[in-house]
Chain A
């Protein structure tokens, strides 16, 4: 990819052995809006802040949480435009898998392929790494799963994780509250409370997004009124 004039990698090793462009990409992620995910015993929840630059923006036109397949959803922290590219590529890879094997793609496989794309952009000529970290939530034969993929292309499976501006406070909060036998509903409440921790301003159903997947193996993005119900339960 890229013009022949740029057939050299822009991401190169520094004398100390670091890939500086990737570190800068992680900084870009760290200045993005907070998002988090929690794996419960019977499902996964992902959530994010949805702070818009002005009240003039039509919030119904913006959706940060995206569906990749009927049983896998994703949320990002960092640069929105970069996330759209990854969502599109992941959806295509999932469809190609299904076309070949007539079976929905396992979560680990989709995560691995997405991570490979992100890694390629750290090594190919004339391109920069993606400025996003992704939280992928899915439910397949192996049960509920939550993965985080970083700009470097490395990915890990998490019981609970957070990314973006408020990452350290959020992770501390999650460590305290997480239990292995959590139910999905509790996980949603915990997710909301975690978001509330570092939230600037008044949390409402219009400035957060929540996606869940349960035993029905169908990823669902909650509507504002459903979020409102959960918010009231948390109060």
Chain B
């Protein structure tokens, strides 16, 4: 196999292109969008909520096995948008790392440490040729003892930021525009407002009202800092509240 140095291989493995770009990383981002799912995360004053579409392509599939929302520990959740197989690898490694952290240091891994660990692992895939970047963008949510509710987003390039609100996937730019307007004056959302902002953002960009079974919602709250996936009934309550409000 011939060497890199721009002999056309800058598109096949993560070496620099003449413009100083990493094409493999950019293609990984495209793979996230190609999954056709949009996810939204919103951080309130005492809670964090993430919402994603639940597309079950085949009626014969067991719906309960189709999920993008994964508990990493009792307190941390991870929403993976993109390639499901890559997501499962990431979740498996994250669960392992969080458990080892707890064992090694004697306290629960905070959200920002987990986000940093995931981002650092993603960076390794962008620098070493033997592993491709993962086609997943991960949103980490948790309640930090000192800093309060936290929402982090980690991407295939190895970037990670804390967010007040964010979006990933096919319609991420529209969603981010919607959220920027809502969060412009640094509002302090209550739990209900946080969930409703997230759900209505998704409804607005997808331009459809969905049923409770078509979305997945995960939350963490200060009063009850465990990561929780809402049941269909709970989602229905929020959907009703949104339609009554409008």
Contact = CB atoms under 8 A, between A and B. Distances in A.
A25 interface: yes
B15 A21 contact: yes
A53 B29 CA distance: 16
B128 interface: yes
B161 A52 contact: yes
B161 A62 contact: yes
A11 B5 contact: yes
Given A2-B129, A10-B4, A55-B184, A81 B123 contact: yes
A80 interface: yes
Contact of A27 (B18, B120, B127): B18
A21 B22 CA distance: 11
A24 B126 CA distance: 15
Contacts of B124: 85
Interface in A163-213: none
Contacts of A27: 16, 18-20
B20 A57 contact: no
B161 A57 contact: yes
A126 interface: yes
A3 B161 CA distance: 31
Interface stretch (A28-36, A37-45, A101-109, A214-222): A28-36
Contacts of A58: 43, 161-164
Given A24-B16, A54-B180, A57-B161, A121 B127 contact: yes
Given A12-B4, A85-B120, A85-B123, A126 B129 contact: yes
B4 A6 contact: no
Contact of B120 (A3, A8, A11, A84): A84
A127 B3 contact: no
A131 B130 contact: no
A81 B157 CA distance: 7
Nearest to B162: A61
B5 A61 contact: no
A60 interface: yes
Given A28-B21, A31-B20, A61-B112, A128 B129 contact: yes
Given A14-B5, A24-B19, A56 B14 contact: no
Contacts of B157: 79, 81
A56 B164 contact: yes
Interface string B117-153: 0011011101111100000000000000000000010
Nearest to A20: B5
Contacts of B126: 81
Contacts of A80: 158-159
Contact of B3 (A2, A5, A10, A79): A10
Interface in A38-93: 52-58, 60-62, 79-82, 84-85, 88
B165 interface: yes
A26 interface: yes
A16 B60 CA distance: 61
25 contacts: A2-B128, A10-B3, A10-B4, A10-B5, A10-B15, A11-B15, A21-B4, A21-B15, A24-B16, A24-B19, A26-B20, A27-B18, A28-B20, A29-B20, A31-B19, A56-B183, A61-B152, A79-B157, A79-B158, A81-B122, A81-B123, A84-B158, A126-B128, A128-B14, A131-B20
Given A24-B6, A79-B158, A126-B129, 17 more contacts: A5-B130, A10-B15, A10-B129, A12-B5, A20-B5, A24-B15, A24-B17, A27-B20, A54-B176, A58-B161, A62-B162, A84-B120, A84-B123, A84-B158, A85-B127, A88-B120, A128-B22
